[in-house]
Structure 1
Amino acid sequence: MKRRIKIKGWIAAVAAAAVLAAGCGVRTDTPVESGATAPEETTIAQTSGAEKPTHPEPSTIEPFPTEPPETETVAEKPAHATRVVLMTDMHYLAGSLRDEGEAFTTMVNHGDGKLVNYVEEIVDAALEEAISQNADVLILSGDLSLNGEEDSHKELAKKLDKVELAGIPVLVIPGNHDINNPKAAGYQGKDIYPANNTDPAEFAEIYGEFGYDEANSRDSNSLSYTYYLDQNTCLLMLDTCQYEPRNQVGGMIKTETYEWIEQQLDEAEKAGMRVLPVAHHNLLDESKVYVDDCTIEHSDRLIDLLEERNIPLFLSGHLHVQHFMQHDDIGIYEVVTSSLATPPCQYGVLDYMSDESFSYHTRQVDMERWAKRHHVTDENLLSFDTYSPPTLNKIFYNQAYDAMKDSKEEEKAGDLFVKLTPSEKQQMSQVYADINAACYAGKAVDVVEEAKERPAYKMWQEYCYPAVLFEYLEYIVEDAVKDYNVLEVD
């Protein structure tokens, strides 16, 4: 299966520690001090978790234009196909660790787009849909918790029981947020307080029924394992996280784990089994801006191992952006599923054929249908398709505006001194929000041509400031050559 897709040149990586990836989008999860409030200058209305507007002001460009998702019908599973439902980066936060107070609201409104205020409902609805998808397995590829809170892991694990009771095995692997995370916290009023975090042994115990106790083989040096889904399919669940003595954003695989991987690949090959590898971090340079924090360190070794055995596909998360690419236009494909917690709150459905061809598409969680079925009265959930796009847009607006507001009023940019007026900041923040929201949904191709004609985008090109956000915008525009929500390989 050799495919060639022309890949254009990419911008150089941006080394700016202040905006490193939280998943691997632009990071804005700076710890909030007790009593912290939302920035006063932000022109988009500040909203509390309990009072979020059902109809915020619309943006100029629809953040992720798409047809209404199908919810009543399920695509027929092809004969001789294994159906995998993929969910990732749900960032679940236990209800006992949050209220709708000031600290929690500030974290949500000035975060990286995760709707933590509705994460329990999103997860409940997504798991119900997984059951209806005629899936052979549900895979959660890391960042199960917001920041590794023990209570969040335990509460999520209880929710996974109902999927297995429906006859669908659930498999998990950790993400960079899940283990030994000192940011594990709860939110009460204006205060943020420490919560119990989770160590590797506790993670494996909590999720024992979802891969670890059922593994065919477990690596003694990591939380990697193999799971034989059937006599023909080996799922290679790779722990790519660094969490000793504390968690790090970037991913790597230990030398000893590579030895275990080779053994598992050899055994699967002898048994005539196809191998489907899954990890949290990315195999390929899916983000050209945040390579160090998104791509597995020294991933060439893993690529070589997989391509030597003609393994066609690798699945991952971490990026929070819906994306896919092929190694050197001819090798292994990688599909990155976007964050379940971030609008458009979607998951992946993979039909993996016996001849190793595959078909992948995303589905948005139908929150409105779920809310009506469960007699929910929250207008934001009943009108989720109206509420969530501008809410994400507002968060990304805040992200850009905060970066401008918190920087020095004058910034040296080449030979120019940049001094932005409030109006310029507002316009630039809005175009950034519009483009970034579409990018997260894998649909930047639908908006960039119009956005590039707007005066605000030309301001970004003129000022190139803030530098890291400008580089990120330029990357999105260059990458916006296709819709990344559908991939079929024969």
Structure 2
Amino acid sequence: MRTKLLKRKHRSLFQIMILCLLLCGCAGEKKDMNNQDTVRLMVTSDLHYLSKELYDPQAPIFQLLMSKNDGKLVEEGALILETLKQKAIEEKPDVLLLCGDITFNGELISLKEVSTVLKEIEDAGIPVLVTTGNHDIFYRSCMTYFGDVPGVTEDISDTAFAEVMGEYGYDEALYRDENSLSYIYALNENLWFLVLDANQVTSPCSIGGETLVWMDEKLAEAEEKGIQVITVCHQNILIQSEMMYQGYVLYNHETVEKILKSHGVYLCLSGHSHLQHTSVSDGLTDICNESIAVYPLQYGMIDVNPGQRTFNHELKTLGILNEESYDMFSKTVLRMVTAQVEENVEDPAVREKMIDYALRMNAAYFSGNREEMENLSQAEELSLWETYCGDSFWGMYLKNIISELEKS
């Protein structure tokens, strides 16, 4: 009798476990999002990951490279990538978007190592979509850094990029462009992603003519079916900064912008300039995402309601290497600012105030910290720049930041 009771008890427990699995689903299973009103996006850009297999941190050639660095924490790439993975799993977005420049300078081994980590994110039930950056395919400065001179390592063709990154958009694409690595990904029955490749040898920093025709046709189809489309591209669709847009915005951005607007696209996600900034033009918004490898190591969380054509954007940081990233980011700026200030200002105390102000305002501008920019716009140090260096590059650059702040 006791044996029968135990068997019944075990059978009941087993049935309860099966029921829980059916109701809750497996941990790594992708969600059914067709009935969702709001879709949660996690977006980042410009990882610039360099495999540790490709450099010696003590090598003179690597030290020279880092002395000319633009603020990227290259040696912390593995930690940044691992932390990004953990944040993605914690945030549980409906999709993770990487807006290009995944590798440092187009090294195949770097791309493969990133792919391994992205696989862990997908295994957690989070779809990952990627696009190419100008540093990812056909990049000429693809090198190793040992000893006194750079070496050679295997670079990435567009074919190799699609093969290594196949699981992250390409293999599951609804449509793929035959003339580039552009594709359409259907997240659900109400929302598509138009992922654009603007890095082909035949059309660098632009969308090629045949691809323009392709995207126009696919957007027309989406519009006819009542499907909303979000565009993802490495280069900016809209001009983000009047002081530094050449080479960052698409060369044929006006044509691309016209096509997107004609089909009711209202949101674009980009990167490339390492600047956290948002531009708006007649109902079209382009959110430029700062490099995840540069201070303050941040990513975006965007809640999108396709039916209402609305979105809410929030910036979050990885929560690591804050001081290290600020110091690295400031080094490059410090050299340029110091040279201009020393040329025009004799008083050491005034010099120090002006330099510190420029570093803080530049960091706030690139990280999209509006509150800090507003506070600094009222600081007395701004008048020092106007008095001593108003016509210099940095004087005009600071004026431009204030002007943008007032307009927005």
Which residue does 1:362 correspond to in 2?
315
In structure 2, the partner of 1:388 is 325
In structure 1, the partner of 2:403 is: 478
Q: Would you say 1:138 and 2:138 are equivalent positions?
A: no
Shift of 1:132: 1.7
Q: 1:470 & 1:444 partners in 2: Cα distance?
A: 19
State the match for 1:488 in structure 2.
none
Q: Is the 8 A contact 1:143 1:318 kept in 2?
A: yes
The code of the aligned residue for 1:287 comes to S
Q: 1:448 to 1:458 in 2, by over 3 A?
A: farther
Alpha-carbon contact 2:344-2:388 (below 8 Å) kept: no
Contact 1:92–1:152 (CA under 8 A) maintained in structure 2: yes
2:334 aligns to what?
Answer: 397
Cα deviation 1:264-315 (Å, max 9, x = unaligned): 1122223331111111111111121222211112322222222222222111
Quote the residue 1:64 is aligned against.
Answer: none
CA distance in 1: counterparts of 2:285 and 2:376, whole angstroms: 30
Alignment of 1:20-419 (within 5 A): 80-101=37-58, 102-244=60-202, 251-327=205-281, 330-355=282-307, 356-367=309-320, 384-401=321-338
In structure 2, the CA distance between the partners of 1:154 and 1:457, relative to structure 1 (3 Å rule), is farther
Alignment-mate amino acid for residue 317 of structure 2: Q
The answer on whether the counterparts of 1:431 and 1:451 sit within 8 Å (CA) in structure 2 is no
- TM-score calculated relative to the size of structure 1: 0.69
Question: TM-score, with normalisation over the residues of structure 2?
Answer: 0.82
CA–CA distance in structure 2, aligned partners of residues 288 and 116 of structure 1: 28
How far residue 109 of structure 1 moved from its aligned partner, in angstroms, is 4.6
Letter in 1 for 2:180: S
Shift of 1:232: 1.5
Q: Distance in 2 between matches of 1:264 and 1:396?
A: 43
Alpha carbons of structure 1 residues 420 and 97: separation in structure 2 relative to 1, 3 Å? farther
Q: Once the 2 structures are TM-superposed, how far is the Cα of residue 470 of structure 1 from its aligned partner?
A: 3.7
Conserved in 1, the CA contact under 8 Å of 2:72 and 2:328? no
CA distance in 2 between partners of 1:459 and 1:302 (Å): 38
Distance change >3 Å, CA 456–CA 481, structure 1 → 2? closer
The higher radius of gyration belongs to 2
RMSD: 2.8
Distance in 1, matches of 2:145 and 2:347, equals 32
Report how far residue 115 of structure 1 moved. 0.9
**Residues 234/451 of structure 1: CA separation in 2 closer, same or farther (3 Å cut):** closer
Over 3 Å counting, the alpha-carbon distance change for 1:135 and 1:298 in structure 2 is same
For residues 214 and 442 of structure 1, the distance between their equivalents in structure 2, rounded to whole angstroms, comes to: 34
Change in CA separation of 1:104 and 1:460 when aligned onto 2, cut-off 3 Å = farther
Quick one: distance in 1 between partners of 2:323 and 2:158? 40
Change beyond 3 A, Cα 1:456–1:291: closer
Note if contact 1:448-1:480 (Cα within 8 Å) is conserved in structure 2: yes
The correspondence of residues 464-475 of structure 1 with structure 2, limited to 5 A, is 464=390, 467-475=392-400
Question: Partner residue of 1:440?
Answer: 366
Structure 2 residues without counterparts, runs of 5 or longer? 1-32
- Does the C-alpha gap of structure 1 residues 302 and 447 become closer, same or farther in structure 2, counting only changes over 3 Å? closer
Residue 227 of structure 1 aligns to a residue in which SS? Answer: strand
User: Which sits farther off after the overlay, 182-191 or 271-280?
Assistant: 182-191
Matched residue of 1:283: which SS? Answer: coil
Counterparts of 1:334 and 1:422 in 2: how far apart (Å)?
43
**Structure 1's 242 and 432: CA in aligned 2 closer, same or farther, altered over 3 A?**
farther
1:90-122 alpha-carbon deviations (Å, 9 max, x no partner): 111111112222433443354211111212101
Give secondary structure in 2 for the equivalent of 1:294.
coil
Partner of 1:463: 389
1:130-166: CA deviation from partner (whole Å, max 9, x where unpaired): 1221211111111111111111111111111101111
Change in Cα spacing, 1:301 to 1:144, as seen in structure 2 (3 Å) is same
**SS of residue in 2 equivalent to 1:291:** coil
More helix by share: 2
CA distance in 2 between partners of 1:244 and 1:173 (Å): 17
Figure out how many residues of one structure are paired with residues of the other and give that number. 372
Q: 1-side partners of 2:114 and 2:298: how far apart?
A: 18
